[in-house]
């Protein structure tokens, strides 16, 4: 199962945006290296050049890929499916990414990052509609019920994550968390308004349409 294993703060500095640590960077923003070092990683350029159209398109694509923890080959498959699905390709692409099981677990508040959520799913700690699912890219549908496996409910990770989610009141309207029963339900499909970081999806469509 291919995935990025390198340092994530460097990726955030490159994109100039917090893409990963919702809780940490919300509660301890003043301590984050993203706030202290806002420039991209590496030596500062001798001369700041003009960003080309392709460069802008590439940055948007990289930003979305890194936010959802998807590599290039899988991301392109998502785009091709989005392009052949009725509707607006860019919005279809974002919806497919939002419906990934690891992202849903993150949105419900059972994980503090999508990377942590992916780890929970891969280790078979998540149940969907009564069946264990160990595929992070599993796509949820309306009415699906997501649960944390019984033995894992007492995990320190889950207990702390739920406390943080409740403290920050972190919810999204298309999902309904039930922290008492360590579960959640998909109420509706996500829309463009549910994306919580700035992205110009049409620019990504233009890049892949060349």
What would the pLDDT profile of 41-81 be if each residue is shown by its tens digit? 555 556 666 778 888 888 889 888 888 989 999 999 999 99
- Tell me the whole-structure pTM to 2 decimals: 0.81
The pLDDT of residue 39: 58
> What b/e sequence results for 97-115 when a residue is b if at least 16 CB atoms lie within 10 Å of its CB, and e otherwise?
bbbbbbbbbbbbbbbbbbb
CA angle 161, 98, 15 (to 5 degrees): 85
The pLDDT of residue 16: 61
The pLDDT of residue 83: 94
| 3-class DSSP state of 145 | strand
Indicate whether 84 pLDDT > 90. Answer: yes
């Amino acid at each position: 199962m291919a995935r990025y294993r390198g340092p994530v703060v460097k990726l955030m500095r490159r994109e100039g945006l917090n893409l990963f640590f919702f809780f940490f960077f919300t509660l301890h923003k003043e301590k984050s290296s993203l706030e202290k070092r806002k420039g991209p990683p590496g030596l500062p350029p001798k001369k700041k050049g003009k960003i080309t159209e392709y460069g802008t398109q590439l940055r948007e694509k990289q930003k979305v890929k890194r936010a959802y923890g998807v590599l290039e080959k899988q991301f392109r498959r998502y785009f091709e499916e989005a392009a052949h699905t009725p509707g607006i390709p860019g919005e279809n692409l974002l919806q497919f990414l939002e419906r990934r099981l690891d992202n849903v677990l993150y949105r419900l508040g059972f994980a503090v990052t999508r990377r942590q959520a992916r780890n929970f799913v891969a280790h078979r700690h998540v149940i969907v509609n009564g069946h264990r699912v160990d595929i992070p890219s599993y796509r949820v549908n309306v009415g699906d019920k997501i649960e944390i496996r019984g033995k894992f409910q007492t995990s320190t990770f889950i207990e702390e994550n739920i406390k943080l989610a409740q403290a920050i009141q972190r919810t999204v309207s298309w999902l309904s968390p039930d922290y008492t029963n360590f579960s959640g339900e998909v109420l509706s499909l996500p829309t463009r308004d549910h994306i919580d970081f700035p992205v110009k999806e049409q620019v990504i469509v233009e890049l892949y349409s060349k």
